[in-house]
Structure 1
Amino acid sequence: MTGDSDVMPPRVTRRKTRDATVLDVAAAAGVSPSTVSRAIREPQSVSEAAYAAVMRAVEETSYVPNRAASNLASNRSGTVAAVMPAMSYSVFADTIHGLEAVLSEAGIQLFLGTTDYDSGREEKILGAFLGRRPDGIVLVGASHTPGTRQLLRRSRIPVVETWDWSDDPIDSLVGFSNGAAFTAVVEFVLAAGYRHPTFGGWLTGDDSRAHSRRDAFRDTLSRLRPGEPVRIVDTAARGISVEAGAWLVDEVRKIHPETDVLVCASDIFATGAILQAQSLGLRVPEDLAVTGFGDFEVSRFLHPPLTTIQTPNEGIGRRAGELLLERIAHSDADPVSIDLGFTLLRRASA
């Protein structure tokens, strides 16, 4: 009988494994390594037959391109960072969808950050993103802290501001004038015969676009109806929500009962306002008309459908992405400002 000391331990063997390389793909496809690299980076630079052969070989070998090495060699990260107030609002989600569609076609990864309308938080988020050296930055809004502006200008990275208009953009700009859009709303309701409009929105935070809309309301009303009181109601701590829009109706009826049209800074408020007015037995627009801003998807399905400003949400994102790609490819290209405009949609709520 053999003793325990004579028992040999089980032999463990390990099969050597390694990741597939460009050489493996080239051998499987029957092309040169340089053709593999070009087919992956710039498909349009190789023939359709070569591209098809390389893609089959990539699948067969489970090849994963080493983006880190490629980015290091090109001094690019292959990423773009976008910073916006929130992702929960469909208008900003549409913008991101347009942006991502353009960037993904170019093989660029999109990173997202949200500020909750806090300019100080925007500065911190950008500081963190810039530490990763993205190839470009997209911002919602054109109003920032001095620290943010300094960070971005020192970075020498292409920047596209969106959803606003400015005579002093940091770099490139794609958007529209919130002031001009809201001027169009006020001119419309006054021309429609409404005598006592009230503005409703959130003015407590750092939403410069809401402030621009408020200013346009005040200035246009004072210009076209001198002597008419300028009625402005801030949702304050209630922020931006459907519930805040419902509260606006209650508050306006209490402090400005003569109001015949509630001019809301966003469709979110307008939605809550219409629902609350109807719950109180008010007819819209006969007893209280309501207008919005943004043309959110729900707006056309309200009863009555909402009169509002339609903004080029997805178009802003797509054009911002195209501008970034142009600036990344040609670093000496001049910044541009593109005004995509807006459309006043007259529906049955006013």
Structure 2
Amino acid sequence: MTYLRPLPRTDLPRPPDAVALAGSAHVWWSEADLTLRGLPTQRFLADELVPADCARLAAPRPLLPGLPTDRPLVMGIVNTTPDSFSDGGLAHAPEAALARAQELAGAGADMLDIGGESTRPGAGEVPVDIEIARTAPVIAAIRAAGITIPISIDTRKAAVARAALAAGADMVNDVSALGYDPEMAGLVARAGVPVCLMHAQGDPQTMQRDPRYGDVLLDVYDRLLARMEFALDQGIARERLIVDPGIGFGKTLRHNLMLLSGLSLYHNLGVPVLLGASRKKFIGTLSGVETAAARMPGSVAVALQAAAQGAQIIRVHDVTETVQALALWRALSIEGHGE
């Protein structure tokens, strides 16, 4: 297996040999590291790469009609659970969930992610009927309220996804990467909707019990590639796939930091990259902030790191602050102001 990681940059001015990273107007690269397990990493200029490799790293990553491909998209989180790690219970009631969705849409979210089952470490499974009752009516209410931005259903279960899609959802965000419910891949293929394949080591009840990797960056890459190949075999079109390295899902602090610093590797898979790290424990560990809801500044810092690595979708709780920070980041990474 060969691993090709473009080295992302946002500094100005851009040199003549700069190549846009995955269609970004803000992130570019001119060098890439090529790694084979057990051998020293080699660095190549973009024009020294096989043209197909260079083209794959440069190509835009369309997601859904109407969504831009040249900047990071902000996905706002609406948890309809009573036990989410950071905001459990705040949007549990349908009226509160709708209000939360309206707030996030008004704050500039490009998409919404609706979830009815907590996947925090130690969380138990939620029965299908309860998860449907927590999510499908909320999605229908969001659509009835005139909110038209794309909606993602955050679930491992085909029945929940089916109900959510019928209620107006546009994509599926599966933390098991189609590995939990054997009916999920077929449902996604038939519906023709995008699906996010997230990496996790273990399930929510066991994932933080001493997770180990040979090389976390490469091991996660291999697993995501395998799940992509499974999805393709099940009839899901490549242009409908999204990958997420799964920050905090069977990862130590060191694993999370390595994934964040090497995130650009996953552009070599040729599909959009989603990063969901908002308010997670490692942010509190590094910042000394114990309360998850108080980790907004650290979450924004991680969002900016993800943007600088070329991530296409950034999943967050704090939409207002993230949208504002990214607007300034974009302005500072574009040449020609005032011309």
Instruction: Give the TM-score normalised by the residue count of structure 2.
Output: 0.29
Query: Which structure carries more helix by proportion?
Result: 1
Larger Rg: 1
